[in-house]
Amino acid sequence: MLFLKQIRATGFKSFADTTILNFTKEMIGVVGPNGSGKSNITDSIRWALGEQSNKSLRGSNMDDIVFSGSVGRPAAEYAEVTLVFDNQRDIFSTLSTDIVEITRKFSKKNRESEFYINGVKCKLRDIQDIALETGLTKSSIAIISQGTISRFAEAKPDVRREIFDEAAGVAKYKKRKLETQRKLEKASDNLLRIKDISDEIGRRLPTLKKKAEKAEKYKHLAEELQNIELAVLAKDALTYEVELEKLRTAKRSLEIKTEKLANEINLSQDELDVMLSKSSSTDIEINELNSSFQKIVERVASLKTQKQKVDSKESEKHSEANIDEIKAINLKKEYDEKTISLHSEKDLVASFEAQEKEAKREYDQISDSFERIHLKRQEIESEKNRLQFKLDDINQRARTSSISASSGAKNIIENKNRLSGVVGTVESLISVKEEYHVAFSLITGNHLQSVVFKTDEDAKKAIEFLKRNNFGRVNALPVSTLNPSSIAEAQKQVIKKAPGFIGFANELIEIKENCQVVLDYIYGTAIVTKTFDDAVRLGRSINYRYGIVSLDGQRVMPRGAMSGGSVSKATNIFAARRVDESINPETIAKNIQTLNNLYEDYQKEFNALRESREKSSVKIQEIMSNIKVSKFSITSLESNLEVLSENYKILTGKELYGDKNVSFSNESESIRISREIAKLESQRNEISVKLNILSNSRTQNSDRQHEINKDNKEKRNTLNEWKDTLASVKSDLNMMENTNIMILQKLSEKYNLNLDAVRQMSFDVIENVEQTRARILELSMELKEIGDVSIDSIEEYKGEQERFDYYDVQLKDIQEAIEKLESIIADIDIEMKTQFKKIVDDVNAALPEAFKKLFNGGTATLIYTDPDNILETGIDIDVQPPGKIIQNINLLSGGEKSLVALSVLFSILKVRPLPLVILDEVEAPLDVANVTRFAKYVREFVDVTQFIIVTHREGTMENCDILFGVTMQTKGITKIVNLDLKWDVIKKLLKN
């Protein structure tokens, strides 16, 4: 079969000129002297078909294939070879053209090979692919040299099998098997590695699981505890807030009431004292007046006796007078006496009226003062009440804004020098920028008054100091032992990118004295954002793991609760504290005390004025009643005088005093005495009025004293009752305040919440508080029992379990892959065995004939050296040359060995034909007869195989269809001559 139709070579090795070899016959002989360039033809075929190995091209680099020049001929710049194939039998299965031209060109300049198929540029890979189909690159029997022959004949059986492997196409299986084995090895390594890791994780998992389960249980219980404890604490805090306020109000009103009552009692006591001293002076006055009164009465009595005597004497003077005259004298006398009484009475009325006027003026004056004092007293009372209210309000605010721990803190700071390791209050250590005041006011809780200590021992001593001295409570933060919660670094990186993120609270403010751990402790899990929206968004994205506060004081609490609304000035706990005396409780208390004293003074004055006014009123009444009496007496006397005057006129017929007024110029002794009596009686009446006034006043006084005493007794009883109630209220309040402090401290320390925040939040509804408290206790005990846990172990276990599962899946996958690979290898082995066995069987079938033809008799058989292991068995050849019994192939002569090798190689070629085979002086060791037999034998293959036979042997040449003579007429440059079997020319050529 004609397959390779033409070789065109330019600049390839010794083909300096363009050299064309046209092959028109199947059995082509190439002849020529040594070194003329015969083998360069084979090289050119292999080079064009993509050979990359410089060594197999007999060079050291690719430049060596380019013509290197000769005497008088410069080196070529490039080498180019084109092979023209007949593809009518579709040897190149992928190419549809009948003629296939393959070209390779190498330029020394760019040191690159270019490939072309049918003139179309292609890649090396494309050439290599189609070259495989020529067998020239894959089969070692496509180019058979003398070396091939001797290597095959003398090789060890296991090396010899290689040619059968190759012929059986086992190489590709071997390659696949090797690849698969490599994969298997890799997979096994992987399996071991992953198994190691998986075992390691597997060993740790049970412990980790236990830890995680413990932590999970702890977390679960802690969450339940936190929920209900927080709800109960909040409920308690809010209830206590109301109850405490009620008690404080009750205490306040009781204090005011008791103080007022005690004051009242004191004042009444003062009043009583004043009254007692006054009543004794009144008694003295009454006694004096009584004595004067008595004297006057006695004098009047004596005067009256004297007058009787004078009157009898005067009556004796008128003893001769008749009855009418005597009657007239008596009438006149009586008239005179009554006139004197009338005058006296009128004087008395005038005096009383003057007294009344004075008394009324005095009353008005007292009333004015009384009203003024009354008003003043009211003013003081209302001012006092205003200040008291203000003081209560300030104290109340002070209580709500800071729990009483501050008093403990204050005492510790004041005794700093006596205690060790006191760093200061948080308030004194931190500095918060104004823009963060509101946000930090809300997340600082009650920590502003917490005291920072160097060590826990310092804190312990300070607390013992407070306890010993009953100096209040303190929240202590020992730097050495604080164990702050924090946000994981990975989480931080995510949070930092959130919109509106301002910072992590513990990084936004500063603290003195290297106390960063204090900030970490108070603010370690708090985040500050610009707006509430930012806080809500961030809360959602971190699944509410940490607390967030916006600059305007709105909060998103851990676990999703929210707290917010308006903020007042009071919310800002960092605002500079101004010293404002008007809100200084001590100043207010002092002012209240001053007002109390003033009030007491006014009250005394008020009481005194009230009494004076009452007295003055009584006096006026008394005077008025006496005026009335006197005026009645005057009317009665005047009417008597009229009657007397009338009677006198009837009796005497004369007017008693005519038109003249009564004149007493020459009055009688009796009249004088009457006048004195009237005067004295007038004095007596005046004294009587005074006595009445004084006696009334005394009665009033004693009634008042009695009343005050009775009143005071009742008041004292009430006061005692109130004092008892106040004491019990105070003790209740104290107890409640202590409990409240504990509640607020727990809220602050454990949940970082203050009352403001609690008020704004909603909590779980507690149905049964007592049951819930019992549950809290139960949970606390359970948690204590569980002891130390690591919450991180939950995540750690989850992660490790996931890793374990992942590696488990990996292991299974790898195991599956290994099984698959092993089955592939098994399949490959089966296939290799089958193929190998088949080729050996096929060759064994063809071998006797080939052997017979080449040896002219005898036979040969291929033998497995290890029939039980076809995959690795070597191949031995059992040969029986005609007439000889041979034990070992090595015992054969060189020529015989070549014949054995050729018979096997040609048997292979028989059962696995190739389109082109190059034989390079393979028959050289044979004798003439064997050469001819060999050449004839070759001819038997030409129907399916084209042969290019490089030879020096005539027997071969004679059997070739065509001979090409290779010469170097010009030194170093190969020239090809078509010899057309012209023997003379051939011989001449060979002689050269």
Question: Known binding site for ATP: residues?
Answer: 33-40
Q: Which residues contact 622 (CB under 8 A, 6 or more apart)?
A: 689, 692, 693, 696
Alpha helices (H) in 450-545, listed in sequence order: 456-469, 489-496, 505-508, 516-523, 532-541
- From residue 725 to residue 754, the character string flagging contacts with ligand ATP as x (rule: CB under 6 A) and all else as - is ------------------------------
Output the known binding site: 33-40
Sole window of 28-36, 133-141, 162-170, 614-622 interacting with ligand ATP (rule: CB under 6 A): 28-36
Q: Is 775 exposed, middle or buried (0-12, 13-18, 19+ CB in 10 A)?
A: middle
Residue choice 3, 23, 67, 855 for contact with ligand ATP (CB under 6 A): 67
Cβ atoms of residues 989 and 965 within 8 Å: yes
Whether 859 and 852 have beta carbons less than 8 Å apart is answered as yes
The nearer residue to ligand ATP, 39 or 404, going by C-beta atoms, is 39
By residue count, the chain amounts to 992
Piece in contact with ligand ATP (CB under 6 A), picked from 60-68, 326-334, 586-594, 806-814? 60-68
What is the β-pairing status of strands 143-145 and 120-122? unpaired
**Would you state the structure tokens that stand for residue 324, as one six-digit string?**
């009418």
Please identify, using beta-carbon distances, which residue of 913 and 972 lies nearer to ligand ATP: 972
| Residue 784: exposure state from Cβ atoms within 10 A (0-12, 13-18, ≥19) | exposed
Cβ proximity to ligand ATP: between 468 and 971 the closer is: 971
Nearer to ligand ATP, 71 or 650 (CB): 71
Query: Closest distance between ligand ATP and the C-beta of residue 902, in Å?
Result: 19
Give whichever of 14 and 630 is closer to ligand ATP, judged by the CB atom.
Answer: 14
**For residue 596, what are the CA distances in angstroms to 84, 265, 395, 593?**
134, 14, 20, 5
CA distances from 156 to 88, 159, 330 (A): 41, 5, 205
| Span interacting with ligand ATP, options 35-43, 184-192, 641-649, 860-868, rule CB under 6 A | 35-43
Q: Which of 64, 112, 196, 927 binds ligand ATP (CB under 6 A)?
A: 64
Q: Which is nearer to ligand ATP, 15 or 546 (CB)?
A: 15
Q: How far is the CB of 95 from ligand ATP (least distance, A)?
A: 30
Six-digit token pair at 481? 């032992």
40: contact with ligand ATP by CB under 6 A:
yes
Q: From residue 863, give the alpha-carbon distance in Å to each of 153, 157, 161, 889.
A: 14, 9, 10, 12
Nearer to ligand ATP, 64 or 298 (CB): 64
Burial string for 6-42 (b: 16+ CB within 10 Å, else e) reads: bbbbbbbbbbbeebebebeebbbbbbbbeebbbbbbb
Closest contact distance (angstroms) between CB of 35 and ligand ATP is 4
Residue number with CB closer to ligand ATP (585 or 972): 972
Smaller CB distance to ligand ATP: residue 40 or 449?
40
By rule CB under 6 A, what count of residues binds ligand ATP? 15
Candidate residues 27, 28, 31, 32; the one interacting with ligand ATP per rule CB under 6 A: 32
Q: How far apart are CA 37 and CA 975, in angstroms?
A: 8
Residue 9 or 474 with smaller CB distance to ligand ATP: 9
Q: Which of 2, 3, 8, 14 binds ligand ATP (CB under 6 A)?
A: 14
Lookup: tokens for 297: 């009465």
Q: Residue 402: name the closest of 368, 360, 359, 449 by CA.
A: 449
CB of 912 to ligand ATP, least distance (A): 28
Distance CA 284, CA 694 (A): 10
Angle at the Cα of 689 from the Cα atoms of 626 and 614, rounded to 5 degrees: 90
Residue 955-974 contact track with ligand ATP, rule CB under 6 A, x = bound? -----------x-----x--
Shortest separation between residue 67's beta carbon and ligand ATP, angstroms: 4
Q: Is 555 helix (H, G, I), strand (E, B) or coil?
A: strand
941 binds ligand ATP (CB under 6 A): no
From the list 27-35, 497-505, 636-644, 753-761, the region that binds ligand ATP by CB under 6 A is 27-35
Under rule CB under 6 A, residue 107 binds ligand ATP: no
Per CB under 6 A, does 34 bind ligand ATP? yes
Q: What distances in angstroms separate CA 294 from CA 557, 595, 687, 689, one per listed residue?
A: 98, 52, 10, 14
Q: Is 47 in the site for ligand ATP (CB under 6 A)?
A: no
**Residue 13 is a binding residue for ligand ATP (CB under 6 A):** yes
| Nearest-approach distance from CB 889 to ligand ATP, in angstroms | 27
Burial 696-711 (b: 16+ CB within 10 A, else e): ebbebbeebbeebeee
CA 912, 915, 920, 923 dihedral sign is positive
By beta-carbon proximity to ligand ATP, the closer residue of 112 and 324 is 112
Based on CB atoms, which residue is closest to ligand ATP, 7 or 117? 7
Q: How far is the CB of 163 from ligand ATP (least distance, A)?
A: 23
User: Taking the chain, what is the end-to-end CA distance rounded to the nearest angstrom?
Assistant: 33
The tokens describing 540, both together, are 């959602």
CB of 891 to ligand ATP, least distance (A): 30
Alpha-carbon span 456 to 417, nearest angstrom: 17
**Nearer of residues 67 and 363 to ligand ATP, judged by Cβ:** 67
* Least gap, CB of 39 to ligand ATP (angstroms): 3
Burial class from Cβ neighbours inside 10 Å (0-12, 13-18, 19+) for residue 112 reads exposed
Question: With binding defined as CB under 6 A, does residue 35 bind ligand ATP?
Answer: yes
The b/e string for 547-563 (b: 16+ C-beta within 10 A; e otherwise) is bbbbbebbbbbbeebbb
Rounded CA separation 742/403 (Å): 9
Question: Given the DSSP bridges, would you call strands 430-431 and 859-864 parallel, antiparallel or unpaired?
Answer: unpaired
Q: How far is the CB of 139 from ligand ATP (least distance, A)?
A: 21
Reduced to 3 states (helix: H, G, I; strand: E, B; else coil), residue 65 is helix
DSSP letter assigned to residue 662: P
If binding is defined by CB under 6 A, does position 894 make contact with ligand ATP? no
**Among the listed residues 6, 68, 645, 810, the single contact to ligand ATP using CB under 6 A:** 68
- Taking the complex as a whole, how short is the minimal distance between the CB of residue 933 and ligand ATP, in angstroms? 23
Query: Which residue minimizes CB distance to ligand ATP?
Result: 34
Contact assessment for residue 17 and residue 67, using Cβ atoms and an 8 Å cutoff: no
Least distance to ligand ATP, CB of residue 40, Å: 4
760 token code pair? 């704004």
Among 5, 8, 38, 105, binds ligand ATP (CB under 6 A): 38
Binding ligand ATP (rule: CB under 6 A), the pick from 10, 19, 36, 113 is 36
Q: Does residue number 802 form part of the binding site for ligand ATP (CB under 6 A)? A: no
Q: Which stretch binds ligand ATP (CB under 6 A): 33-41, 256-264, 276-284, 873-881?
A: 33-41
Q: Which stretch binds ligand ATP (CB under 6 A): 38-46, 382-390, 589-597, 763-771?
A: 38-46
Binding site for ligand ATP (CB under 6 A): 13-14, 32, 34-40, 64, 67-68, 966, 972
